[in-house]
Amino acid sequence: MILDCISISVVSCIGIRGGQQKMIEIPSHKLPADLLTSVIEEFINRDGTDYGDREISLKEKIEHARIKISQGDVILTFDQETESCNLLSKNDFIKITQKL
């Protein structure tokens, strides 16, 4: 798991059922820049979204994600069930946390 190799303080844990945390919000500002870039890149490559007529480079996508994260519009999370990091919009994060 990605969290095993870095030392970060968890800001919030949500979806605790039966003593197990289901989703953890990762404070992106505590990640080394290269690790954050790797997490964003992995998510983008997993995404497979068609961006329409204009081809957008991986570098542009990473920069756009970094801006959204720094503005607080996107939240970096770790899902313990799937053992994966995800980028969620703040609104989606709020919706998910309210359901749990």
Q: State how far the Cα of 54 lies from the Cα of 76, in Å rounded to an integer.
A: 27
pLDDT, residue 48, reads 64
pLDDT, residue 34, reads 94
- pLDDT tens readout for residues 44-65: 888 666 666 778 888 999 999 9
> What are the structural domains of the chain?
2-99 (1.10.10.610)
* Cβ neighbourhood burial of 28 (10 Å; 0-12, 13-18, 19+): buried
Q: Specify the pTM.
A: 0.71
Q: State how far the Cα of 90 lies from the Cα of 69, in Å rounded to an integer.
A: 9
